[in-house]
Amino acid sequence: MSRRTILVTGGAGFVGSHLCDRLIADGHDVICLDNFFTGRKKNIEHLLGEPRFELLRHDVTFPLYIEVDEIYNLACPASPIHYQHDPVQTTKTSVHGAINMLGLAKRLKCRIFQASTSEVYGSPSVHPQTEDYWGNVNPIGPRSCYDEGKRCAETLFFDYYRQHKLDIKVARIFNTYGPRMHPNDGRVVSNFVVQSLKGEPITIYGDGSQTRSFCYVDDLIEGFVRLMQSPRDVTGPVNLGNPGEFTIKELAELTIAMTGSKSKLVFLPLPQDDPLQRQPNISIAKDRLGWEPTVPLRDGLKRTVAYFEKLLTENDVMRDMPAARSKG
């Protein structure tokens, strides 16, 4: 594979930092762009001494003129508590960010990847979700800045594809977890693992019967790279996720069992518009990319627990982390 210069927006975030690792390991030059809203230098500090790695502090809502061979556009907060903190900025990041990165790709005539999301399906009435399902999304609710922002970004990608013949790759990512999730991120896996390790109550929103399908981050990154390297006619959208579906209560019980925790379950109100079920149909990824996840939830959780165990013994994190935040 030829050595390329690759831009990763949101590269200091949870998923982005793993992608930077993979691209550096594959022998590429990586420009990691981030505004550090939810990302952290700590996630990429081990790459700072690498001559093929470059860190760029920048906000994707502003134009960017650089020279690269490929773009992965991941910049966008992904956790509900963070994307709802400044919802206008979230929409701007998805929409203006997509326009700027598409403009950059158009000028450079380079391939561009979009990190879209299973949230484009909203609270789905088709189950498992296939890519031809148009979704059930509230356009004016608290999750809309993220859901509709990502939907509009997909629209832009396909309009640049049709109108300007851009070489696009759109991945619809389902819930992904693993090391480098922020302990205060607010998403369910990091919350439950941190709560279990600290012996604090496990915060279940609603009755815990809602489902999610959890993909380990290494599997996801393999899917990204395969999609990016796929033939030009594979534009997506392609679902990338692990079809293993669990209720949130099952996840809580598994986490408690795996950590040997004494934590008790507490039930808090279900947030508005929280999807009741979610499971990817990954037939397209299997057929066109030869991809499917290989890490079962139990194994991935074990690695994630080991990461947070180490993190919780580090003083700096203990100071700014009285408890995993709850949004209930």
Residues forming contacts to ligand UDP in the complex (CB under 6 A) are: 63-65, 80, 99-100, 103-104, 106-107, 175, 187-188, 191, 203-205, 210, 212, 248, 271, 274, 326
| Dist CA 81 CA 232 (whole Å) | 36
Q: What are phi and psi of 43, to 5 degrees?
A: -65, -25
295 near ligand NAD, judged by CB under 6 A: no
| Preceding amide of 237 cis, omega within 30 | yes
Min dist CB 143 to ligand UDP, Å, is 8
10 Å CB burial of residue 195 (0-12, 13-18, 19+) is: buried
Q: What's the start-to-end Cα distance of the chain, in Å?
A: 47
| Dist CA 237 CA 102 (whole Å) | 16
Cβ atoms of 199 and 309 closer than 8 Å? no
Which residue is it, tokens 């484009």? Answer: 120
10 near ligand NAD, judged by CB under 6 A: yes
Min dist CB 260 to ligand NAD, Å, is 26
Q: Work out what residue 74 binds among ligand NAD, ligand UDP, none; the CB cut-off runs from 5 to 8 Å by kind.
A: ligand NAD
Q: In this structure, which amino acid lies at residue 143?
A: R
Q: Work out what residue 282 binds among ligand NAD, ligand UDP, none; the CB cut-off runs from 5 to 8 Å by kind.
A: none
Min dist CB 298 to ligand UDP, Å, is 18
What are the respective helix, strand and coil percentages of the chain, to the nearest 5? 40, 20, 40
Nearer to ligand UDP, 17 or 84 (CB): 84
Nearer to ligand UDP, 125 or 229 (CB): 125
Per-residue binding letters, 23-52, with ligand NAD (x by CB under 6 A): -----------xxxxxx-------------
Min dist CB 35 to ligand NAD, Å, is 4
77 near ligand NAD, judged by CB under 6 A: yes
Chain-centre distance for alpha carbon 194: 19
Q: Work out what residue 35 binds among ligand UDP, ligand NAD, none; the CB cut-off runs from 5 to 8 Å by kind.
A: ligand NAD
Q: Residue 80: which H helix or E strand, with range? A: helix 80-83
Q: What are phi and psi of 283, to 5 degrees?
A: -55, -40
Nearer to ligand UDP, 159 or 287 (CB): 159
Min dist CB 143 to ligand NAD, Å, is 12
Stretch that binds ligand NAD, among 54-62, 123-131, 190-198, 301-309 (CB under 6 A): 54-62
Q: Work out what residue 205 binds among ligand NAD, ligand UDP, none; the CB cut-off runs from 5 to 8 Å by kind.
A: ligand UDP
How many chain residues interact with ligand NAD (CB under 6 A)? 28
DSSP-assigned beta bridge partners for residue 117:
173
Min dist CB 231 to ligand NAD, Å, is 24
Question: 41, 157, 171: which is closest to 97 by C-alpha?
Answer: 157
Chain-centre distance for alpha carbon 103: 23
Stretch that binds ligand NAD, among 58-66, 102-110, 196-204, 254-262 (CB under 6 A): 58-66
Cβ atoms of 200 and 33 closer than 8 Å? no
Of residues 208 through 237, those in contact with ligand NAD by CB under 6 A are: none
Which residues, including other chains, have CB under 8 Å from residue 268's CB and lie 6 or more apart?
203, 204, 205, 326, 328
176 near ligand NAD, judged by CB under 6 A: yes
Structure tokens at 13: 């975030």
Cβ atoms of 31 and 60 closer than 8 Å? no
Nearer to ligand NAD, 149 or 208 (CB): 149
Catalytic positions, written as ranges: 146
Residues in contact with ligand NAD by the rule CB under 6 A? 9-10, 12-16, 34-39, 59-61, 74-78, 93, 97, 115, 117, 173, 175-176
